[in-house]
Amino acid sequence: MTTGNQPVPRILTCGEDALVVEFGNAVDPDINDQVYALAEAVGSANNESVIELAPTYRSLLVQYDIEQSTAADMTTFLSDLIGTADATQNKNDNAPRRIYELPVAYGGKQGEDLQDVAEHAGISADEVVAIHSGTDYRVFMLGFAPGFPYLGGMDERIATPRLASPRVRVPAGSVGIAETQTGVYPMVSPGGWRLIGNTPVSLFDPNLEPPVPFLPGSFIRFVPVSAEQAAEFASKVADGSYVVQMTEQGS
Amino acid sequence: MAAIRAISPGPLSTVQDLGRPGYQRFGVSVSGAADRYALRLGNLLVGNDQRGAAIEVTIGGAEFEFTDAVTFAITGANLSPSLNGTPIPLWESLHAVAGDHLSLASPAGPDAGLRAYVNVSGGIDTPQMLGSRSTHVGAKLGGVDGRALALDDEVPIGPLTNPVPPGRRIPVDLIPRYGGEIVARVVPGPQDDKFDQDATDLFYGSTFTVSDKSDRMGCRLEGPQVPAIDDAHDIVSDGVVTGAIQVPGNGQPIILLADRQTTGGYAKIGVIASVDLALVAQASPGAQIHFEQITVDEAAVLARDRMATLRDIIFDTPDESSGERWQYDIRIDGADYQVDVDADALKGHSTAVVNGIEYDVQVVPGE
Each residue of A92-106: pLDDT tens digit? 556 678 999 999 999
CB contact under 8 A, A204 and B26: yes
B206-228 pLDDT, tens per residue? Answer: 999 999 999 999 999 999 999 99
Which of B310, B326, B352 is at the close of a domain? B310
Q: Please indicate, yes or no, if residue B191 is contained in any of the structural domains.
A: yes
Instruction: Say if residue B163 is in the same domain as residue B187.
Output: no
End-to-end CA distance of chain B: 41
Instruction: Say if residue B77 is in the same domain as residue B109.
Output: yes
B286-316 pLDDT, tens per residue? Answer: 999 999 999 999 999 999 999 999 999 999 9
Q: Please indicate, yes or no, if residue B367 is contained in any of the structural domains.
A: no
A37-51 pLDDT, tens per residue? Answer: 999 999 999 999 999
Instruction: Say if residue B86 is in the same domain as residue B205.
Output: no
**A224: amino acid identity, one letter:** P
Q: Please indicate, yes or no, if residue B166 is contained in any of the structural domains.
A: yes
Q: Please indicate, yes or no, if residue A2 is contained in any of the structural domains.
A: no
Which of B145, B174, B203 is at the close of a domain? B174
Q: How confident is the model at residue A251, as a pLDDT?
A: 52
Query: How many residues belong to chain A?
Result: 251
Which of A92, A114, A133 is at the close of a domain? A92
CB contact under 8 A, B296 and A142: no
Instruction: Say if residue B221 is in the same domain as residue B241.
Output: yes
Q: How confident is the model at residue B357, as a pLDDT?
A: 77
| Contact residues, chain B, for A206 at CB < 8 Å | 129-130, 141
Instruction: Say if residue A37 is in the same domain as residue A60.
Output: yes
- Give the CATH number of the domain where residue B242 resides: 2.40.100.10
CB contact under 8 A, B24 and A52: yes
Q: What percent of chain B has pLDDT over 70?
A: 93
Instruction: Say if residue B157 is in the same domain as residue B260.
Output: no
ipTM of this predicted structure: 0.89
Instruction: Say if residue B300 is in the same domain as residue B210.
Output: yes
Instruction: Say if residue B28 is in the same domain as residue B150.
Output: yes
Residue A173: name the closest of A102, A118, A226, A122 by CA. A102
Of the pLDDT bands very low, low, confident and very high (cuts 50, 70, 90), residue B319 is low
| Among candidates A56, A211, A212 on the partner chain, residue whose Cβ is nearest the Cβ of B239 | A56
Instruction: Say if residue A36 is in the same domain as residue A149.
Output: no
Name the domain count of chain B: 3
Pairing mode, if any, of strands B268-272 and B263-266? unpaired
For residue A225, pLDDT over 90 is answered with yes
Residue B33: name the closest of B55, B12, B9 by CA. B55
What is the overall mean pLDDT for chain B?
A: 93
CB contact under 8 A, B27 and A147: yes
Query: For residues B170 and A30, what is the distance between their CA atoms, to the nearest angstrom?
Result: 54
Count CA atoms closer than 13 A to B357's CA, side-chain side. Answer: 3
Query: For residues B168 and B3, what is the distance between their CA atoms, to the nearest angstrom?
Result: 22
Residue A179: name the closest of A197, A155, A157, A162 by CA. A162
Which of A92, A123, A147 is at the close of a domain? A92
CB contact under 8 A, A25 and B274: no
CB contact under 8 A, B300 and A71: yes
Q: Please indicate, yes or no, if residue A5 is contained in any of the structural domains.
A: no
| Cβ B42 vs Cβ B119: under 8 Å | yes
CB contact under 8 A, B25 and A54: yes
| Contact residues, chain B, for A21 at CB < 8 Å | none
| Cβ A118 vs Cβ A127: under 8 Å | yes
Residue of B nearest to A27 (CA): B236
Q: State which residues form the domain around B167.
A: 3-174
For residue B139, pLDDT over 60 is answered with yes
Q: Please indicate, yes or no, if residue A237 is contained in any of the structural domains.
A: yes
Calculate the alpha carbon distances from B124 to A56, B2, B28, B51 in Å: 34, 10, 22, 11
Q: Please indicate, yes or no, if residue A4 is contained in any of the structural domains.
A: no
∠ Cα B306 B307 B313 (to 5°): 85
Query: For residues A94 and B269, what is the distance between their CA atoms, to the nearest angstrom?
Result: 39
CB contact under 8 A, A59 and B238: yes
Residue B299 sits at the chain A interface (C-beta within 8 Å): yes
State residue A150 phi and psi, 5-degree precision. Answer: -85, 105
Please give the residue that has the higher pLDDT: either B363 or B15. Answer: B15
- Give the CATH number of the domain where residue A175 resides: 2.40.100.10
Instruction: Say if residue B337 is in the same domain as residue B201.
Output: no
Residue B140 sits at the chain A interface (C-beta within 8 Å): yes
Instruction: Say if residue B126 is in the same domain as residue B192.
Output: no
State how far residue B26 is from chain A, nearest Cα, in angstroms: 5
Instruction: Say if residue A73 is in the same domain as residue A121.
Output: no
Query: For residues A57 and A206, what is the distance between their CA atoms, to the nearest angstrom?
Result: 24
State how far residue B41 is from chain A, nearest Cα, in angstroms: 19
Which of A92, A107, A139 is at the close of a domain? A92
Instruction: Say if residue B7 is in the same domain as residue B144.
Output: yes
Instruction: Say if residue A116 is in the same domain as residue A26.
Output: no
Query: For residues A27 and B64, what is the distance between their CA atoms, to the nearest angstrom?
Result: 50
Instruction: Say if residue A159 is in the same domain as residue A40.
Output: no
Name the domain count of chain A: 2
| Among candidates A71, A142, A187 on the partner chain, residue whose Cβ is nearest the Cβ of B140 | A187
CB contact under 8 A, B139 and A187: yes
Instruction: Say if residue B233 is in the same domain as residue B287.
Output: yes
Q: State which residues form the domain around A38.
A: 10-92
Query: For residues B114 and A175, what is the distance between their CA atoms, to the nearest angstrom?
Result: 39
Instruction: Say if residue B195 is in the same domain as residue B233.
Output: yes
Query: For residues A72 and B295, what is the distance between their CA atoms, to the nearest angstrom?
Result: 12
Q: A-B interface: how many C-beta pairs under 8 angstroms? A: 150
Residue of A nearest to B242 (CA): A15
Query: For residues A55 and A58, what is the distance between their CA atoms, to the nearest angstrom?
Result: 8
Of the pLDDT bands very low, low, confident and very high (cuts 50, 70, 90), residue A3 is very low
CB contact under 8 A, B237 and A60: no
Instruction: Say if residue A76 is in the same domain as residue A185.
Output: no
Which of B118, B140, B174 is at the close of a domain? B174
| Among candidates B26, B237, B243 on the partner chain, residue whose Cβ is nearest the Cβ of A211 | B26
Query: For residues B236 and B226, what is the distance between their CA atoms, to the nearest angstrom?
Result: 20
Q: Please indicate, yes or no, if residue B160 is contained in any of the structural domains.
A: yes
**CA dihedral of residues A64, A70, A73, A77 (deg, nearest 10):** 10
CB contact under 8 A, A144 and B261: yes
Of the pLDDT bands very low, low, confident and very high (cuts 50, 70, 90), residue B354 is confident
Instruction: Say if residue A36 is in the same domain as residue A67.
Output: yes
Instruction: Say if residue A52 is in the same domain as residue A167.
Output: no
Instruction: Say if residue A130 is in the same domain as residue A193.
Output: yes
| Contact residues, chain B, for A55 at CB < 8 Å | 25, 239
Of the pLDDT bands very low, low, confident and very high (cuts 50, 70, 90), residue B341 is confident
Mutation choice for A interface testing from B20, B235, B260, B296 by most A CBs within 10 A? B296
